[in-house]
Structure 1
Amino acid sequence: MLAAQTAVANDAPVALIFGDSLSAAYGIPRDDGWVHLLQQRVRQAGYPHRIVNASVSGETTAGGLRRLPAQLERHRPDILIIELGGNDGLRGQPTAAMTNNLESMVQLGQAAGARVALLGMRIPSNYGPAYAQAFHQSYADVAEATGAALLPFFLEPIALSQDAFLPDGIHPNAGAQPRLLEHAWPALQPLFKSSTTD
């Protein structure tokens, strides 16, 4: 029975989560992370997709762009969810380069037949208001240029709650993960729905 269930799961359409530590469940049990919770939500909603988490802690958009072609070839996803850019911002990387990297990743996913969503980020204003605004605007610009779905600020429901983060003040704790999923689900559900009805 288990073998049969595994075979069905392996044949299911794939939703590839391509992010950094926020999606790699940094500092918490992997089963508590929002990506694992997403698999449960997808199943409860009756969608057949198998969630594949290809997130890597510390990943930048440049690193993601280098990794993505092999991941697309390996998993052939119906859905690609990109959650990258935070590390670019924390390192003060040029926003133009980040924008180009994100746009290239979206285009690679679309060319491979995937529906793509971007989970946007913000960075603290102490990086300078002009840089912080340009950073945040990058996601909107990429979404407008490519037609990708956009959640403007993934951490929005917890951003001002110190008790939602690990002691480093950067990574959400286990208790915050359901709130992140609830915030992201309205932006992600249409991708699962349209992928299922096609």
Structure 2
Amino acid sequence: MLNAAFILVVVSTFSVATPSYAATILILGDSLSAGYGMSEEQGWVQLLRNDLTEHQIINGSVSGETTAGGLRRLPNLLASSDIDLVVIELGGNDGLRGFPPNKLKSNLTKIIELSQDNGAQVLLTEIMVPPNYGPRYTNMFNSVYHELSDQFDITLVPFFMLEIAPNPELMQRDGIHPNQDAQPQITQWMSPWIKDALKK
């Protein structure tokens, strides 16, 4: 009887200690979401965790990631937990490497479909490439996100770097990545979109 009572206490303790989340959110991104150039605690995803404490937020972002890499990793990420919302922040490295926009669209399409097939909502973050890539490429690249938003009837979050990149004090020395001071601003930009998506 003593052993049985002990086991009951242990089980009860674990039941109380296991957190219960309202929803589980997966951020599937690249260096902009991985906190490149700073500690994980300073990045906008961790700041978002501090804002949305009732939700579990999994940061599946990897610096240098392309849409192809994100697509390869997604099945394991979806299998790791019961994901309610997938926030897709990918494509910047595809653009920087001059990958064809049709390949970008194909990969993002598969990411969206795989997420939805697993019962998750999808929030797509717009990505833009610099104008020095030429008007034809930049227009084709940028239009992919709007086309997918319409095709799948999903919300498209405007590119948060548009508010940050013009301010040198918010950018790292490479001129590509936001610095630590920019992270609260990114959190403030993303949080309402994510909250609204979770209501649907």
Same fold (TM over 0.5): yes
Q: TM-score, normalised by structure 2?
A: 0.88
For 2:109 and 2:154, locate their aligned partners in 1 and report how far apart those are by CA, in whole Å.
Answer: 9
What is the match of residue 8 of structure 1? 19
For 1:51 and 1:91, locate their aligned partners in 2 and report how far apart those are by CA, in whole Å.
Answer: 29
Of 189, 193, 197, 1:191 maps to: 197
Q: 1:159: how far off?
A: 2.1
**Contact 2:165/2:178, CA 8 A, preserved across alignment:** no
Q: 1:76: how far off?
A: 2.3
What is the match of residue 34 of structure 1? 44
**Contact 2:29/2:65, CA 8 A, preserved across alignment:** yes
For 1:38 and 1:3, locate their aligned partners in 2 and report how far apart those are by CA, in whole Å.
Answer: 27
For 2:36 and 2:80, locate their aligned partners in 1 and report how far apart those are by CA, in whole Å.
Answer: 24
For 1:32 and 1:3, locate their aligned partners in 2 and report how far apart those are by CA, in whole Å.
Answer: 30
Does residue 100 (structure 1) correspond to residue 106 (structure 2)? The answer is: yes
Spell out, residue by residue over 1:144-178, the C-alpha distance to the aligned partner (whole angstroms, 9 max, x if none): 11122211312121121112111111110010011
Secondary structure of 2:19 counterpart:
helix
For 1:114 and 1:29, locate their aligned partners in 2 and report how far apart those are by CA, in whole Å.
Answer: 29
**Contact 1:16/1:53, CA 8 A, preserved across alignment:** yes
What is the match of residue 7 of structure 2? none
Q: TM-score, normalised by structure 1?
A: 0.89
% same residue = 43
What is the match of residue 53 of structure 1? 59
What is the match of residue 8 of structure 2? none
Of 30, 34, 42, 1:20 maps to: 30
Does residue 135 (structure 1) correspond to residue 141 (structure 2)? The answer is: yes
For 2:22 and 2:196, locate their aligned partners in 1 and report how far apart those are by CA, in whole Å.
Answer: 18
Q: 1:42: how far off?
A: 1.2
Spell out, residue by residue over 1:15-49, the C-alpha distance to the aligned partner (whole angstroms, 9 max, x if none): 00110011100101211111011111112xxxx31
For 1:60 and 1:163, locate their aligned partners in 2 and report how far apart those are by CA, in whole Å.
Answer: 27
Secondary structure of 1:134 counterpart:
helix
Secondary structure of 1:80 counterpart:
strand
For 1:5 and 1:177, locate their aligned partners in 2 and report how far apart those are by CA, in whole Å.
Answer: 33
For 1:91 and 1:152, locate their aligned partners in 2 and report how far apart those are by CA, in whole Å.
Answer: 22
Q: 1:12: how far off?
A: 5.2
**Contact 2:32/2:178, CA 8 A, preserved across alignment:** yes
What is the match of residue 83 of structure 1? 89
Spell out, residue by residue over 1:115-145, the C-alpha distance to the aligned partner (whole angstroms, 9 max, x if none): 1101111111111111111111111111111
- Within a 5 Å distance, the mapping from 1:108-147 to structure 2 comes to 108-147=114-153
Does residue 166 (structure 1) correspond to residue 172 (structure 2)? The answer is: yes
**Contact 1:14/1:79, CA 8 A, preserved across alignment:** yes
What is the match of residue 154 of structure 2? 148
For 2:128 and 2:63, locate their aligned partners in 1 and report how far apart those are by CA, in whole Å.
Answer: 18
Structure 2 stretches of 5 or more lacking a match? 1-12
Alignment: residue pair count: 188
Q: 1:69: how far off?
A: 1.1
For 1:90 and 1:103, locate their aligned partners in 2 and report how far apart those are by CA, in whole Å.
Answer: 20
Q: 1:53: how far off?
A: 0.4
- Structure 1 residues 6 and 87, CA, compared in 2 at 3 Å: closer, same or farther? farther
